Amino acid sequence: MFCRTLRTVTPSAYIDLHSAALLTRLQRLVGISTVNPPGENYAAITTELTRDLTALGLRTRRFTIPRTLLRQTLPPAQHAFPRYNVLGKLAAPGAKKTLHFNAHYDVVPVSGLWRHGSAFSGTVDAGWIYGRGTADMKGSIASLLFALQALRATGTTPRLNVEVSFTADEETDSVLGTGWLVEHAPIKPDYAIVMEGGELDQVCCGHNGTLWLEVTVHGRAAHGSMPERGINALEKMSALVLALGDYQRRLARRTFVTPEGKTMRPTINLGGEFSAGPGGKINTVPALARFTIDRRVLAVEDQSAAERDLRAFLAAAARKIPQCKISVAKISENFSCFSPPTHPFFTAMAGCVTRVRQQPTVFNVSTGFNDMHFFSHHLKIPTLGYGPGGEDFHAVNERAKVKELLASAKIYADILTRFAG
């Protein structure tokens, strides 16, 4: 009797009727502080998420990152903090294609004074839910789980097989999170939705990449009273930094117009970190100087070409400066990605967003990066970014809008029931 009554309710109506349940779940997730670094309470949250997915009928497994790999990958201060990824699968009768949903469950550290006391309160106030992770991105997790709950409760069969991954460490480098997942977990998606990067009326079809280099300038120490006997690394570094002004201007001439009509340009930020070598003293000619370069790679640029080009420029610039010896090390990189939003998967998603939000939809390219590139670049499948988003990401009073959490849940349910691949 109860079941038959529910069957007459659509997933969307179910979501509206039971909206309080979404918020309760999100409060519970926000209450487990998964601050990274160092990576706290990952065991607790992945236990909870495994239980939630299992209860929703997904075949679910929690993967523990092997200790040796963890020790090889993370700095010693994080060796006591285990890493886990959760994977759930739901086979839909008759479905031929598989859609993968991904979200990271770690959050950035907390500081400052929050409006409702604790940063992990999950307080609902005037249509918003507050707390670290509400926007980035436990809100997405809660929306997706609620969408799956709505499908199950209303007896609605998805037209696609479903894979769900909740992964670690996106706020650091994703190596043991989504990076590990696409390499080692038994997944075989045809499409992916990373549940951030696009929000409101924007569906994300790509994001910038990063290339982080550290340049070391090697000089020669001498007594400060006889500077002519040394090679001043700071002076050489200054000349090199000035020369990089040319490179900045050269990059600024490269443009990429996104599908929504925004012009993006590659950038470099110099010296986010800079330092002298050990033994620096006011009366010593500095023997070493070091600075970083944060190169933002356009969604349509080739990452390795960008790196080769920058390294070649640095080498040539250093050769023009007398006695300027440098070495260049790569600190890290994140691939950019871009899928032209002409594929039916993108059209279908834009249709769902437009239908649920009653507003035209545009395709955006995100300046920051997220885990989309692991699916788009590594697995080479059509990948988009969409989630409930929010305000003050990584800041005090991070919050998500209740209306958008519910809208995202409806959109996820909608794509699963309308698109067959």
Residue 142 CB-half CA count within 13 A: 31
CA-CA distances (angstroms) from residue 176 to 2, 71, 181, 259, 287? 44, 11, 8, 32, 37
Shorter beta-carbon distance to Zn ion: residue 5 or 111: 111
**Residue the block writes with tokens 């395709």:** 363
Radius of gyration of the chain (CA): 24
Task: Specify the amino acid at residue 140.
Answer: S
CA gap 147, 155 in Å, rounded: 12
Q: Between 321 and 384, whose beta carbon lies closer to Zn ion? A: 384
In whole angstroms, how close is the CB of 238 to Zn ion at the nearest point?
37
Q: Which stretch binds Zn ion (CB under 5 A): 65-73, 196-204, 207-215, 230-238?
A: 196-204
Displacement of CA 322 from its chain's centroid (Å)? 42
Nearer to Zn ion, 15 or 205 (CB): 205
Asked if residue 82 lies in contact with residue 95, where contact means CB atoms within 8 angstroms, the answer is: no
Q: Which residues pair with 78 in a beta bridge?
A: none
Stretch that binds Zn ion, among 110-118, 137-145, 301-309, 402-410 (CB under 5 A): 137-145
Name the minimum Å distance from CB 46 to Zn ion: 17
One-letter amino acid identity for 1?
Answer: M
Among 137, 151, 213, 353, binds Zn ion (CB under 5 A): 137
What is the smallest separation between the CB atom of 366 and Zn ion, expressed in angstroms? 11
d(CA 299, CA 260): 14
136 is a contact residue toward Zn ion (CB under 5 A): yes
- Binding segment for Zn ion (CB under 5 A), chosen from 132-140, 141-149, 316-324, 394-402, is 132-140
CB of 110 to Zn ion, least distance (A): 15
| Nearest CB to Zn ion, comparing residues 106 and 414 | 106
Window of 49-57, 192-200, 228-236, 413-421 that interacts with Zn ion by CB under 5 A:
192-200
For residue 330, list its beta bridge partners. 213
Q: How far is the CB of 339 from Zn ion (least distance, A)?
A: 19
Contact window for Zn ion (CB under 5 A) among 128-136, 278-286, 331-339, 412-420: 128-136
> Are the beta carbons of 84 and 62 closer than 8 angstroms?
yes
Cα 33 to Cα 31: distance, rounded to the nearest angstrom = 6
User: Closest separation between CB of residue 139 and Zn ion, Å?
Assistant: 10
CB of 168 to Zn ion, least distance (A): 12
48-56, 81-89, 189-197, 236-244 -> range binding Zn ion (CB under 5 A) = 189-197
Between 48 and 196, CB nearer to Zn ion: 196
* Contact between 199 and Zn ion per CB under 5 A: no
Peptide bond connecting 137 to the previous residue in cis, omega within 30 degrees of 0: yes
Largest CA distance in the chain: 94
Phi, psi torsion values for 289, nearest 5 degrees? -145, 145
Q: Residue 133: which of 404, 385, 390 has the closest Cα? A: 390
Query: Is 287 an interacting residue with respect to Zn ion (CB under 5 A)?
Result: no
Nearest distance in Å: CB 104, Zn ion: 6
Q: 180 or 291: whose CB is closer to Zn ion?
A: 180
Instruction: Tell me the closest approach of the beta carbon of residue 61 to Zn ion, in angstroms.
Output: 23
Q: Is 253 helix (H, G, I), strand (E, B) or coil?
A: coil
Complete edge-to-edge strand list for the sheet that includes strand 209-218:
267-276, 288-297, 209-218, 325-334
Q: How many residues bind Zn ion (CB under 5 A)?
A: 3
Q: Which of 136/163 has CB closer to Zn ion?
A: 136
Helical H segments across 18-154, by residue range: 19-31, 42-55, 67-73, 139-153
Ranges within 322-341 binding Zn ion (CB under 5 A): none
Residue with the CB atom nearest Zn ion in the bound state? 136
Chain residues that interact with Zn ion, rule: CB under 5 A: 136-137, 196
